[in-house]
Amino acid sequence: MMMLRAGDVGVLLAGAGLVAALTVFAWGGGRGDTAVIRASGQVVQTTALTHTQSFTVDGPLGTTRIEIEPGRARIARDPSPRQLCVKQGWLTQSGQAALCLPNQVSLEIRGRTSAYDTLGY
Amino acid sequence: MTRSAIELPVTADDRRIAWLAALAIGLTLAEAAIPSPVPGVKPGLANIVILLVLLQVGWRAAAWVSALRVLAGGLLLGSLFAPGFWLSAAGALVSLSVLALARHLPGRYFGPVSLSVLAAFGHIGGQLALAGWWLLPSAALVKLMPVFAAAALIFGAVNGVIVARLLAAPAPDKRQSTPCILP
């Protein structure tokens, strides 16, 4: 007697598909697709995370450089003394934000679903 | 010697169901001792017995064995009518309903593995539905759904293969078909 019949393979594949769909539904909903760049609290740039590009934003201390790549964004260079926002590295999830407070520049990732209604800095 | 006033007639079927339910209860107790990182993720070894009963005896007997297992398992584990008992009962109910439909699938293409996987998904589906509706009506449960579903898929497949092997193996004695002898 065969252990697996044709329908069994189908059921197993359907089950694997269900697991994958649930995984994407439960865990993958947080990926961001938009980057919002602010300077002194004002939005200066909103861009989709679809292709590689970079922006420079001027603040009180100097120039902050922001890099966008498909699916992620980071602050590449910043004049802040402690470099906290640069050390955060690449941001991918919706709701993540890198704040360069001395230079008053922020980078925020947004997606279809946001974890918070609003964030105050 | 006094004769008991009430005598319940015990048929061979009753004895067979009791014997199989005892087997399922034993497996339930054994796997309660297995530590699990997430509550609710269990191999579901008793489902092997339920499936064997379903395939060899019928759905009614499987439902009896399942109900007795949930009830006696709750008694023996001290969780009778506690939330865990109701979760177990909901899982068993949905699982049996799924099996009631799935056993009509053409046997040429769908073997024990299909039934086992479908029953496992039914089990976890029933438990999650009750837990989400009654115990934890919040989003926290959604994050655990992939874990439960993956466990159902893996353990369901493994149990199904065990059932297929047991069915394929030649019976060492005719214990399945004759009523067991009680002392």
pLDDT (tens digit per residue) in A74-87: 999 999 899 999 99
Instruction: Give which of B33, B62, B46, B69 is closest to B155, Cα–Cα.
Output: B46
Point out which residues pair with A68 in neighbouring strands: A53, A73
What pLDDT sits at residue A114? 63
- B168: nearest CA in chain A? A1
Contact check, Cβ <8 Å, A19/B146 = yes
What pLDDT sits at residue A29? 63
The answer to whether residues A91 and A47 belong to one domain is: yes
Residue B85 near chain A (CB below 8 Å): no
What's the number of domains chain A is made of? 2
Instruction: Give which of B32, B148, B16 is closest to A26, Cα–Cα.
Output: B148
Q: What distance in Å separates residue A113's CA from the closest CA in chain B?
A: 14
Alpha carbon A64 to its chain centroid, in Å, reads 19
Q: Would the pTM count as exceeding 0.90?
A: no
CA separation for the pair B32, B14 (Å, rounded): 26
Instruction: State whether the Cα torsion B45-B49-B51-B52 is positive or negative.
Output: positive
User: Domains of chain B, with CATH numbers?
Assistant: 12-168 (1.10.1760.20)
Are β-strands A105-110 and A53-58 bridged in parallel, bridged antiparallel, or unpaired?
Answer: unpaired
The answer to whether residues A18 and A73 belong to one domain is: no
CATH number of A96's domain: 2.60.320.10
Average pLDDT of the residues of chain A: 87
Render A54-114 in DSSP notation, one character per residue.
EEEEE-SSSEEEEEEETTEEEEEE---SS-HHHHT--B-BTT-EEEETTTTEEEEEE-SS-
Which residue among B110, B142, B150 sits closest to A5, beta carbon to beta carbon?
B110
Point out which residues pair with A108 in neighbouring strands: A36, A97
Residue A79 is part of which domain span? 31-110
Contact check, Cβ <8 Å, A7/B160 = no
Residue A47, domain member (yes or no): yes
What pLDDT sits at residue B179? 53
Contact check, Cβ <8 Å, B146/A22 = yes
The whole-number average pLDDT for the span A10-18 is 94
Residue B155 near chain A (CB below 8 Å): no
ipTM of the complex, rounded to two decimals = 0.81
Residue A13, domain member (yes or no): yes
Residue B110 near chain A (CB below 8 Å): yes
What pLDDT sits at residue B178? 52
The answer to whether residues A58 and A87 belong to one domain is: yes
CA separation for the pair A94, A115 (Å, rounded): 7
